[in-house]
Amino acid sequence: MVIPTRNEAGNVEELERQLDSALGGVDYEVVVVDDSNDDVTRPALRAAAVRNPRWRVIERGQRDQTGLASAVVAGIDAARGMAVCVMDGDLQHPPAIVPQLLATISAGADLAVASRYMRGGSRAGLDGTLRNLVSRSCTWLAQGVFPEARRTSDPLSGFFCCRRAAIKGLELKPRGFKILLELLVCAPRLRVANVPFVFAARHAGESKASTRQGILFLGHLASLFVYVPGGAGPLKFAMVTLAGLAVFASLLYGLVHAGVHPLLAWLTGTAASAACTLALLQLAPFRELGRHGEPDGKRLYYAAASVSAVTSFAVFAILLVPGKHHLFLGAAVGQACGLLLTLTVNQPPVWRRLARMLRLVPRLDIDALARRLGAQEGFWITDHGDLSDPRLNLIGGVVTREMVATASRHQQPALFVERKSARPQARLNIETSSAIVVPSVDESGEVSAVAVFVRTSRSPFESRHLDEAIKWMASHGRLSPVIAESQVVA
């Protein structure tokens, strides 16, 4: 149980009592992450930790008090159980629901959300029509922007439970109160289930929700939109498409009015619109759009875009024949056809079939991946405890077999680069060794094998090679879904 608290002294004893009675048959621990600035909460929590061995309290110093969500992240990092449940410390989240959340996890869900917004649930304890309205609107906004948040009816709930192995390695950087939304967006492949609950009234103490939290929430949405490349796909697609269409339409209109031949104006407009789209796709937030999670997905994206442009042009040219007054109708119908085609290709089943047909997802063959990365050698170490594997001799110097062992122990992909010497003026044509190490984690959260790539060259591996190795292995199911999904959320 991870419980963030800030000035909740009046709730501690009752919380302890209710958790005890609700979790009778369960082996559980309570990790309280406390940011209190009153004089009474910390003594109350310490007393709970002394009398109850299940309780642990993390008291955060002033500098680390960066909000509710970061407290939850700290609690999750410290938790040791098979499942982690997050709940408020003011008893608005009834502990009696926790066994149902745990049962939902046992039944196969990765994430069980206690939801106020479903049959059997309610927000009786949320006082005031205005707060209800704000809460509802924020939920709709989050679900409108992120389809990932539609997997539960209550993506802004602060009461949920997840399998710890399923979220291990996720790079979370939430702001404000909404940690669940962060999980949903950063890990779109988690299996989510809802459990209804009645949001109770506060047992004691005061609310910390405020207008400032509302502003932080908007900032959090923006941060997820910008820094999670694969998040909010449909909205990003609409933005890029509309930008391209705007460039196309204004050029077509302007050039035709300046007396340029419509076909030439169309070509110019299309070229400029394609350039604008391409430029947008280079930006980090839009990068994933054309890739669909495939490391090599852009090839298909460009092919589809070209076919759609040709279709659009053909329709335009045919409709142009009857006379000039059909010009803009022709352009509109042409663009609509092109868009329809793009949308069809964008459907995951169609996309996957095409990708397979065009061999964009070949079987992962470690030699092929080594060639892609420009590595001299690429190999699997299946018994990663065995550091005597002779192939590890390939990584010489500072990059040692211990580093491979470390990356595997921490289950973290790593990039190692060494330099020949500490001399400030390096000779540029000297070869250095570098290595990429990517542990492959199976369903149970264990490392089943470690992929090692070695390069001895004047230009060592860079972080983009590491990213590419991770992407390729993930798209071939050789990596835990979480490591594959975790993005750098700045």
Ligand X SMILES: Nc1nc2c(ncn2[C@@H]2O[C@H](COP(=O)(O)OP(=O)(O)OP(=O)(O)O)[C@@H](O)[C@H]2O)c(=O)[nH]1
Residue 388 exposed, middle or buried by CB count within 10 Å (0-12, 13-18, 19+) = exposed
Helix (H) or strand (E) holding 414: strand 414-417
Per-position x/- string for 92-131, each x denoting binding to Mg ion as judged by CB under 5 A, each - no binding: x---------------------------------------
The CB-of-209 to Mg ion minimum distance in angstroms stands at: 7
Q: Which of 190, 46, 158, 177 is nearest to 92 (CA)?
A: 158
Which residues sit at the interface with ligand X, rule CB under 6 A?
Answer: 4-6, 8, 33-35, 67-68, 71, 88-90, 92, 126, 202, 207-209
Alpha-carbon distance of 163 to 108, in angstroms, equals 9
- Please choose which of ligand X, Mg ion, none residue 480 contacts, taking the beta carbon within 5 to 8 angstroms, the exact cut-off set by kind: none
C-alpha 15: how far from chain center: 33
The CB-of-48 to Mg ion minimum distance in angstroms stands at: 19
Q: Nearest residue to ligand X, using CB?
A: 207
- Please choose which of Mg ion, ligand X, none residue 372 contacts, taking the beta carbon within 5 to 8 angstroms, the exact cut-off set by kind: none
The CB-of-68 to ligand X minimum distance in angstroms stands at: 4
Alpha-carbon distance of 114 to 180, in angstroms, equals 11
- Please choose which of Mg ion, ligand X, none residue 67 contacts, taking the beta carbon within 5 to 8 angstroms, the exact cut-off set by kind: ligand X
Count of residues binding Mg ion (CB under 5 A)? 3
The CB-of-194 to ligand X minimum distance in angstroms stands at: 19
The CB-of-333 to ligand X minimum distance in angstroms stands at: 50
36 near Mg ion, rule: CB under 5 A: no
| Tally of residues, the chain | 490
The CB-of-11 to Mg ion minimum distance in angstroms stands at: 10
The two structure tokens encoding residue 466: 């590491």
The CB-of-126 to Mg ion minimum distance in angstroms stands at: 9
Cβ(180)–Cβ(160) below 8 Å? yes
Q: Which residues between 194 and 233 bind Mg ion (CB under 5 A)?
A: none
Alpha-carbon distance of 147 to 233, in angstroms, equals 8
Of 78 and 200, nearer to Mg ion (C-beta) is 200
90 near Mg ion, rule: CB under 5 A: yes
Alpha-carbon distance of 262 to 252, in angstroms, equals 8
Q: Please name the residues in contact with 247: beta carbons below 8 A apart, sequence gap of 6 or more.
A: 269, 272, 273, 276
The CB-of-149 to Mg ion minimum distance in angstroms stands at: 21
| Coil vs helix vs strand at 334 | helix
**Which residues, listed in sequence order, are joined to residue 449 by a DSSP beta bridge?**
440
Of 9 and 449, nearer to ligand X (C-beta) is 9
Of 205 and 334, nearer to ligand X (C-beta) is 205
The CB-of-202 to Mg ion minimum distance in angstroms stands at: 6
Q: Which of 234, 310, 246 is nearest to 272 (CA)?
A: 246
Of 209 and 361, nearer to ligand X (C-beta) is 209
For the chain, the straight-line distance linking the first and the last C-alpha, in angstroms and rounded, comes to: 27
Of 19 and 33, nearer to ligand X (C-beta) is 33
Of 92 and 311, nearer to Mg ion (C-beta) is 92
Q: Which of 65, 78, 61 is nearest to 2 (CA)?
A: 78
Of 139 and 311, nearer to ligand X (C-beta) is 139
Of 88 and 485, nearer to ligand X (C-beta) is 88
3-state helix, strand, coil in the chain (%, to 5): 50, 15, 35
The letter for the amino acid at 120 is G
The two structure tokens encoding residue 444: 């149970």
5 near Mg ion, rule: CB under 5 A: no
- Please choose which of ligand X, Mg ion, none residue 71 contacts, taking the beta carbon within 5 to 8 angstroms, the exact cut-off set by kind: ligand X
Helix (H) or strand (E) holding 194: strand 192-196
Binding site for Mg ion (CB under 5 A): 88, 90, 92
